[in-house]
A and B are shown apart, each in its own frame.
Chain A
């Protein structure tokens, strides 16, 4: 648990990977196999744009999943993310419609998510109520706010938003959207925070054993509240990206997204008991979901419900794998 990858590598033969890396490597292998199957079956699949499109279509999912990784690493869970994404998109759409300048709208929209996350984190820590129930209430609250703002979808016509939606950044023959750049920036920042800062160390420590973390004098309260705030911020950024993507705010958008996000994090090899996992794994998890969707779209004969069945099957396989790794470690 406490051995760093470097130390682990020193006392083992170089080809033996540390057990905590096995789930991430398995995900990577699965991703490569699935991509290989896609390329061998469909000629158009090898186009680089297909890969970029996966990022373009799942950029907001990626950002939200990064926030969820922080929460799950501490052993908590955040069910409110989907609703907060929708609420952020709704608030920005309705504020833009009422004629506020885009910069102010962005600021307000980016403040709502972290505020709600901060409030939930406080309730979870100070009143000792399960994260599951508190974030469930947060999910109801945010979804209710969406319909309270407007029961129907609000289109966004603001110039800044349409530019962000339509701007194409060319990379060779292909292109990505600005959202992809935002997502990549968030991923890099999160990976840095988790690996090299005091906050990141505290997150892993609390997930490993909250009691020991408290006895060691680590700031458990501050860290716990911080992860829910971070998750709220990531959901808010995800919401803005979704509003760039769809150019509207709809009250029922991103319903059930929290499940996709949790599935991506688990497939990415993060333990739901907390204490072990990487942002890089989460990126792979999101990509696996994206490739499944792309494969099903390319196939054309499979129906959308196969996505759910396949994701369920993958969840099963990866949890079984985590379990096996855990047993071998003991």
Chain B
């Protein structure tokens, strides 16, 4: 009993405890509603089922959220990812649609390289505004968020470009060794980022910049270069996500592609326990957050609730998760549990104790 009591706070206090509980609850609710939800079957050597679908559809969000975690770790934010998704998808689809043979692998690879290059350029633009000119990240990326939508529509001339290319479709709906291709790409990028940040000093340096850019510069970290780098990585991730999203529907819509993805990505990062104040990031938490959001979206579709009404559920989940994670809220709860009349301490005091 005593060991349980001493271990319980350690488990419930873990930053992934509550997101995982909500994720399990969502899956349980889905299973109650539709018992076949958990079944995964093998057809033609490919895995099929609701869970696999959730994994596949969450691949773009995982990618975008990965880049976003790094940006948020430096104390910034990248609002432009949705526009980068739209631009990269539009450029790739435009190039493929101009090809005489849309199924040629060479053409598709060139299109991907071209669009990826554009995404990198957009990342450099964001990074330059933030790191070199020194504009607040939220505003610097707001510029591209607004103008990028316009650029994407300019690329597509306001039309929806449809492509009929099998290699391109593979990115969105294809399979490799039984698993959806998209999730393999997402996994590979996740592993790459994880190895680069957690097996080298890069992750620590990024966190140092987020903790205090000036102090890290004085300690010999090239803070500007790191800041520039994270925005480029974020745009690169968004670019790949753009391929997946447009390949999923075999068309590019400058208006709708990647709409609200920046909000979902920020949510995923926050749910995963990364503070928007910067200085720390948790890739594992981000992935759980992205899966949680996609599961929520999919279950709302599965229960045939209006997709817009799904926003209501999202709002509730966001507020609940954020409140549970908020140190001020936890302290208040704890105090209420200890004494019947909670004394009101200014929130400022709590803030000092938390970032560790």
Residue A315 at the chain B interface, CB threshold 8 Å: yes
**B147 interfacial contact with A, CB 8 Å:** yes
Docked pose: A132 CA to B269 CA in angstroms: 13
Instruction: Please report which residues of chain B, range 249-268, place their CB below 8 angstroms from some CB of chain A when the two chains form the complex.
Output: 254, 263, 266-267
Asked if A251 meets B150 with Cβ closer than 8 Å, knowing A140-B315, A303-B158, the reply is no
- Indicate with 1 or 0, residue by residue over B268-286, a CB within 8 angstroms of chain A CB atoms: 0010000011000000000
* Nearest Cβ on chain B to A280's Cβ, whole angstroms: 21
> Is there an interface contact between A144 and B147, defined as CB atoms closer than 8 Å?
no
Contacts of B146 in A (CB 8 A): 259, 263, 308, 311-312, 315
Give Cα A139 to B264, complex, Å. Answer: 13
Give the most central of A214, A266, A304, A323: most B CB within 10 Å.
A323
The CA-CA distance from A313 to B144 in the complex, in Å, is 9
Check B136 against A272 for contact (C-beta < 8 Å).
Answer: yes
Confirm or deny: B309 has a beta carbon within 8 angstroms of a beta carbon on chain A.
yes
CA distance A259 to B350 in the complex (A): 33
A323 & B312 in contact (Cβ 8 Å cutoff):
no
A181 at the interface (CB under 8 A from B): no
12 inter-chain pairs at a CB distance below 8 angstroms, sorted by A residue, are A127-B326, A133-B276, A137-B314, A137-B319, A144-B310, A144-B315, A148-B306, A214-B348, A251-B308, A304-B153, A305-B151, A315-B143
A305 B276 Cβ-Cβ under 8 A: no
Most buried by A among B277, B309, B332, B348: B309
Interface of B is mostly: helix
A234-271: CB near B (< 8 Å → 1, else 0) gives: 00000000000000000110000001001100100000
A309-B135 in contact given A137-B315, A137-B319, A316-B143 (Cβ < 8 Å): no
Using Cβ atoms and an 8 Å threshold, which residues of chain B touch A147?
306, 308-309, 311
Residues in A with CB closer than 8 Å to B351 are 128
Type the 1/0 row for B228-265, where 1 means its CB is closer than 8 Å to any CB of A.
00000000000000000000000000100000000100
A211 to B352 Cα, complex, angstroms: 13
- Which of the listed residues B151, B277, B319 has the most CB atoms from chain A within 10 Å of its own CB? B319
CA A132 – CA B134 in complex, angstroms?
Answer: 21
**Interchain CA distance A83-B19 in the complex, whole Å:** 27
CB–CB A151/B308 < 8 A: yes
Given A136-B263, A308-B147, A319-B140, A127 and B315 contact (CB-CB distance below 8 Å)? no
Is B308 within 8 A of A323, CB to CB?
A: no
| Interface 1/0 per residue, B309-341 and A, CB below 8 Å | 111111110110011001111001000000000
Q: For A140, what are the chain B residues with a Cβ–Cβ distance below 8 Å? A: 311-312, 314-315, 318
Partner of A323, one of B133, B147, B270, B313: B133
In the docked arrangement, what's the CA distance between A306 and B314, Å? Answer: 33
Residues of A within 8 A of B267 (CB): 133, 136
Q: Is the CB of A144 within 8 A of B308?
A: yes
Top 9 closest pairs, chain A to chain B, by CB = A312-B147, A144-B312, A308-B150, A147-B308, A305-B153, A144-B311, A141-B315, A140-B315, A309-B150
Bound CA–CA A130/B277 (angstroms): 9
Distance (whole angstroms) from the CB of B136 to the closest CB of chain A:
6
| Neighbour of A319 across the interface among B139, B149, B157, B328, CB < 8 A | B139
Which chain A residues in 75-108 approach chain B with CB under 8 Å?
A: 77
Inter-chain CA distance A38–B139, complex, in Å, is 29
Say if the beta carbon of B189 comes within 8 Å of chain A.
no
Contact across chains for B348 and A127 when beta carbons are under 8 A apart = no
| A128 close to B309 (CB less than 8 A) | no
A residues less than 8 Å from B139 (CB atoms): 266, 272, 315, 319
Q: Which of B140, B148, B309 contacts A144 (CB 8 A)?
A: B309
User: Which B residues are CB-close (under 8 A) to A306?
Assistant: 150, 154
A129, A211, A311, A313 — most chain B CB neighbours (10 Å): A129
A305, B319: Cβ atoms closer than 8 Å: no
Q: How far is the CA of A118 from the CA of B158 in the complex (A)?
A: 40
Q: Does B105 contact A (CB under 8 A)?
A: no
Taking CB as reference atom, which chain B residue is nearest A120?
B319
B312 and A123 within 8 A (CB): no
| B142 at the A interface (CB under 8 A) | yes
User: How far, in whole Å, are A126 and B315 apart by their CA atoms in the complex?
Assistant: 19
* Contact assessment for A127 and B318 in the assembled complex, using a CB-CB cutoff below 8 Å: no
Contact of B8 with A by CB under 8 A: no
**Chain B residues, Cβ within 8 Å of A146:** 308
* Smallest Cβ-Cβ distance to B354: which chain A residue: A128
Q: Mark A291-330, 1 if CB is under 8 A from B, else 0.
A: 0000000000001111111011101100110010000000
A134 proximal to B (CB < 8 A): yes
Type the 1/0 row for B143-170, where 1 means its CB is closer than 8 Å to any CB of A.
Answer: 1111111110110011000000000000
Question: B146, B267, B327, B329: which has the most chain A beta carbons within 10 Å?
Answer: B146
Kindly state the separation between the CA atoms of A158 and B310 in the bound complex, as whole angstroms.
31
B38 within 8 A of A: no
Which residue of the partner chain A has the closest CB to B347?
Answer: A128
| Residue on B nearest A79 in the bound complex, by CB | B263
CA distance A136 to B158 in the complex (A): 28
Known A-B contacts A147-B308, A303-B158; the reply to A136 vs B318 at CB < 8 A is yes
